[in-house]
Structure 1
Amino acid sequence: MYEERPARLDGAVVWTLTPGAGSEPVPVLPDGCMDLLWRGCDGRLLVAGPDTVAYVPEGGAGRYAGIRFAPGDAPALLGVPASELRDRRVELGALWGEARARRLGERVAEAPDPATALEDLAVRRAADVPPPDPLLRAVVRRLHAGRPVAETAELAGLGARQLHRRSLDAFGYGPKTLARILRLQRALALVRAGLPYAEAAIGAGCADQAHLARETRALAGTTLSAYASAWAKRETPQPSGSSTTA
């Protein structure tokens, strides 16, 4: 079962995943975010970098806790440019040192609620690093609203090359890729809300349904119908003891 709640850090989300018997890994779709993860099977802390394609967890389903940071917020907190972690999962020890990461992982594992302990870790770390860049947050808001990249750069007072360079550090990829990912997330939210595919495509800013279908295949590795079907299974109440896959 997957659950989430707002974190004490602005824009972040705390989540937990406790799979049922026989459940399979759920693909993680690109969303412009980065996550700090605690893996229950071995108590290790990991970092999930920004994805450009769907990621399927290896080794089967397992118990996880995580904190998902808003796009652009994690690099300063973790101390590494997002582009270095694009499409990667790395152990926190590779970034902060093995001994320190091991101590932190043990602390999270021993806590009554690992998700809250992980959140506490992130809050303490955030107090020691610069706050999120308001300019980059404005970039995310405009791209999330479907504004063109050129207009977004102009309103931010940045040239195209400046915005691209800063986007690589903050988001892991350029602003055009981030805009595509955010547009796909808008479209899939509309699909989950029950809108026909053609209406979801136009509402999210795609040219038409075919455009949305291509983007879903390219970024999510699936079709619109398969995504909608998997989501419906997740949302349908199951008899006690059963599990769903997505």
Structure 2
Amino acid sequence: MYNEYPSSVVPGATVWHSARTSFGEVLPDGCMDLVWRDGDVMVAGPDTRPFTVTASSAPQVGLRFPPGLLPHLLGLPAAHLRNLRVPLADVIGGREAARVVGLDQADVADAFETFGRSRLTAMGPPDPVVGAAAHLLRTGSVVADVAIATRLSVRSLHRLSTRSFGYGPKTLAGILRLQRAQDLASRGVASAVVAAECGYADQAHLIRESRRITGRPFGALRQAGSDANRSTPLPSGSATVA
């Protein structure tokens, strides 16, 4: 069971609630999350591979931040948390984390949003170049063109991407492009058209990229999305903790 809705407090963020009744995988999405379960709060770092989750009836609540925002709010390079789930207290200290640790489930979503807003006030707005780079990569721009558009050298763009997203711009572009392909497929768009719309060389290229990033052919992602749309949203972007 899974549901989500846009945050009304943190720009671009998504609040989600989940209770898994079977084993599954969370796919890379370029984002980072705060995740609550049984009073504990974890930071879910950026993934480069599917993250296996176990079945559990224990509910979880999360706040998924858009690419690049949570590392800025935590004051920690995203690369330090790549493919990791780490207690929030270990990242920002027990005193700061106490605002969201140990809460009842009903209070978590509001507390996460308040936490995100207060950290944004304390840290100031993120570098607008981070958001611009993520947008350009999501819409299919190649790395060299993103560097030109953001007035960065390719090397500087790579450093910014590693710090803000957890990996280089080419990796982020592949993840975000596949997400866009999944979204189109969930609307019933044919795979060949999806490939063309998302800038893949052809449908075979889309299939290869799907296997490389998720370990699954694109047809399997399409079917999973179709099955989920008949019941609850597919939580491919939620960073559920095992």
TM-score w.r.t. the length of structure 2 is 0.89
The structure that has the greater radius of gyration is 1
Contact (CA 8 Å) 1:24, 1:61: kept in 2 or not? Answer: no
TM-aligned CA deviation for residue 62 of structure 1: 3.6
Please state if 1:114 is matched with 2:96. no
Please state if 1:13 is matched with 2:11. no
**Number of the residue aligned with 1:197:** 191
| Residue deviations 1:21-46 (CA, integer Å, cap 9, x gap) | xx21442111111111111xx31100
Q: 1:229 to 1:31 in 2, by over 3 A?
A: same
Q: Distance in 2 between matches of 1:93 and 1:195?
A: 44
**Number of the residue aligned with 1:156:** 150
**Number of the residue aligned with 1:2:** 2
Contact (CA 8 Å) 1:146, 1:204: kept in 2 or not? Answer: yes
Instruction: Name which of 29, 37, 40 aligns with 1:44.
Output: 40
**Which amino acid in the other structure matches residue 45 of structure 1?**
V
Q: 1:188 to 1:13 in 2, by over 3 A?
A: same
| Paired residues, number | 234
Equivalent residue of 1:131, what SS?
coil
TM-aligned CA deviation for residue 149 of structure 1: 0.9
Q: 1:103 to 1:245 in 2, by over 3 A?
A: closer
Q: Distance in 2 between matches of 1:37 and 1:86?
A: 16
Q: Distance in 1 between matches of 2:132 and 2:97?
A: 32
5+ residue gaps, structure 2: 237-242
TM-aligned CA deviation for residue 113 of structure 1: 3.4
Contact (CA 8 Å) 1:77, 1:126: kept in 2 or not? Answer: yes
Contact (CA 8 Å) 1:36, 1:66: kept in 2 or not? Answer: yes
Within a 5 Å distance, the mapping from 1:24-173 to structure 2 comes to: 24-39=22-37, 42-58=38-54, 60=56, 62-98=58-94, 100-102=96-98, 104-106=100-102, 109-110=103-104, 112-173=106-167
Q: Distance in 1 between matches of 2:203 and 2:55?
A: 35
Q: Distance in 2 between matches of 1:160 and 1:235?
A: 39
TM-aligned CA deviation for residue 82 of structure 1: 0.2
Calculate the aligned-residue CA RMSD, in Å: 2.1
Equivalent residue of 1:105, what SS?
coil
Contact (CA 8 Å) 1:26, 1:245: kept in 2 or not? Answer: no
Larger relative contact order (CA 8 Å, sep ≥ 6): 2
5+ residue gaps, structure 1: 239-243
Please state if 1:187 is matched with 2:181. yes
